[in-house]
Amino acid sequence: MPLRSRFRALFSPQRQWIDAAGGRLGTGGRFGPKEAVLRRADSIYWRYDFAALSAARRRAALDLAVRQSTTHVDNRFACRWQGGVAHVWTPREPVSLTDDWRLVAESSLMPEPQEDGVRLVALREGVEGQSWSAGDLAVSRWWPRVPAQADWHRFLRAAGLPVGGDVPEIRKLAPMAMPWGIDHGRLRWSESQIETAVWRSVAVVVGAVLGWQLFASMAWNAATFLQEYRLDAVRADSAPRIAAREQAESAKQRLVALHGQIAVPSDIELIAEVRRAIPSTARLQSWVREADRLRVELQDAGDDPRPIVQAFSGHPLLGSVVANPLGTGRMQLDVELDTRQMEVAP
C-alpha cells in the first residue's frame, strides 16, 4: 500500500453498530471520527422537502421539523441532505452516545443506484424497499422479512408508481466508506479535511524552524482564522433563532390566510381523533388519505376488530370505519369521510 494511502487510512471512520451485539463495521483509522451506525430496523425514516426555502434557512427549518415530529426531543438523529431534501432517521428508542460519537444511518451507507427506480436491499436485519427519482431517495420502507406481493404493491402505490409485477430480487450491497448525500453537521470534518489539517500542521512546524518571520506571518494568519471562526460561531448560533422567528411569522400569516377555507378537518386533526379512539397500546403504522377516503394501518392493535369499530361508533366523520385484521397485531382501518359534516374540534 502506498505511503499516502496508509496515512489516509489513519483518518477513516471508526464505525460501530447500535444494537445488542455492538459489532464493528470495519476497522477504521486510529484518528478517524467515531460513527455509531443506526440500523434501519431500529429507526424511523422521515423525508422533508425544503427546496422552497433558501439554503441558509433549511437547517434551522429541519431542526424545528424534527423536534415537532419525534417523541425523543433530546435525542440525536442521523441526516443526509440531497439538495433541498433532508433524509432523517430517528431512533425508535433513545440512544446513549458520548459527544465524540456521531450518528450515521445504515441506509445512507448503501450505494446509490446507477438509475432511477425501485429496489429491495438486504440490511443487517430485514430488508428495505427504496424508490429513487431524479437521483434522490423518494420513498423508503422497512420490512423484517421479504414483503408479500400485496405489501410490495402498497409500497409502489405509496411511491406513485404503477402497481404490478412480482417482488424484486433482494440486492446485497457492501457498505460504502462515506455515506451518500451531505452531512447535516456544520463543523464536522471529513477525512480529506482532517488529512489536510495534519499536513498543514506539519508545514507550520517546519516554517517555524526555518525562520522567525515566516512563523510570525503564520501566527498572524492563525489569529485571523480564529477571529473568523468565532464570528462564524456567533452567526451560526444566532441563525437558527432568526430563521425560526421568520418561519413562525410566515407560518402565522399563511394560517391566517387559510383560516375559514378548510372545509374538512386536516390530517393532523384526524390523527388526533384516531389516537383518542384506538387503544393506548396501538401505534400508527401508516396513514394514507385520498380525497374523502382514509386508510390507517395500526400496529399492536390486536386481532379482534370489534373493539376498534365500537370505539369509533357515533363519530361524525369516522363512524363508518371498517377494520380488517392483518395478523401479527396489525389492523387496517378504511373510512369513507362524510365531508358534509362539520369540522371536528381540535
Q: Which of 240, 247, 180 is nearest to 56 (CA)?
A: 240
Give the pLDDT of residue 95. 82
Q: In which domain, by residue range, is 279 found?
A: 267-336
**HSE toward the beta carbon, residue 291, CA cutoff 13 A:** 1
Contact criterion met (CB below 8 Å) for 35 and 50: no
**Grid cell in block for residue 112:** 446509490
Say what angle helices 55-69 and 212-258 make with each other, to 10 degrees. Answer: 60
Low-confidence residues of the chain, pLDDT below 50? 186-190, 260, 342-346
* 141 CB-near residues (< 8 Å, 6+ apart): 45, 128, 129, 155, 158
* Number of domains making up the chain: 3
Torsion sign across C-alpha atoms 201, 11, 15, 61: positive
What CATH number did the domain enclosing 323 receive?
3.30.1360
Residues 198 and 241 in one domain: yes
Read off the pLDDT of residues 45-98 as tens digits, 9 standing for 90 and up.
999 999 999 988 998 899 888 888 776 555 688 999 999 999 999 998 888 877
CA dist list (Å): 138 to 62, 130, 253: 17, 8, 30
Measured CA to CA, the distance from residue 118 to residue 140 in angstroms comes to 10
Q: Are residues 138 and 197 in the same domain?
A: no
Q: Element (H or E) spanning 154, and its range?
A: helix 149-158
* Position 32 in a domain: no
Asked, for residue 320, whether it belongs to a domain, the answer is yes
Q: Note whether 137 and 156 are same-domain residues.
A: yes
Residue 96, CA atoms < 13 Å, CB-side half-sphere = 0
Tell me what pLDDT residue 345 has: 40
- Boundary-marking domain end, from 258, 291, 314: 258
| pLDDT (0 to 100) of residue 346 | 41
Phi, psi (rounded to 5 degrees) for 76: -80, 165
Residue 331's alpha-carbon distances to 65, 142, 156, 299, 328, in angstroms, are 28, 18, 20, 7, 9
Residue 96 lies in a domain: no
Has this prediction a pTM greater than 0.85? no
Which stretches of 117-224 are assigned E, i.e. beta strand?
A: 117-122, 127-133, 136-143, 170-171, 182-183
pLDDT at 68: 82
CB-based contact 9:27 (threshold 8 Å): no
Q: How far, in Å, CA of 131 to CA of 107, rounded?
A: 13
For residue 250, being part of any structural domain is answered with yes
The predicted structure's pLDDT at residue 253: 83
Residue 44 domain-assigned (yes or no):
no
Residue 48: Cβ-neighbour burial (10 angstroms; 0-12, 13-18, 19+): middle
Q: Determine, yes or no, domain membership for 45.
A: no
Select from 213, 234, 258 the last residue of a domain: 258
CA 89-151-318 angle, 5° bins: 85
* Co-location of 196 and 230 in the same domain: yes
Q: Do 245 and 280 have their domain in common?
A: no
Work out whether the CA dihedral 230, 53, 85, 90 comes out positive or negative: positive
What's the pLDDT score for residue 75? 67
Of 100, 64, 105, which Cα lies nearest the Cα of 81? Answer: 105
Domain identity same for 241 and 291: no
In a domain, 229, yes or no: yes
- Say if residues 47 and 67 touch (Cβ distance below 8 Å): no
Domain boundary residue among 223, 258, 293?
258
Residues 167 and 205 in one domain: no
The rounded distance, in Å, linking the Cα atoms of 147 and 143 is 6
| Same domain flag for 304 and 252 | no
Which amino acid is present at 307?
A: P
Whether 157 is covered by a domain: the verdict is yes
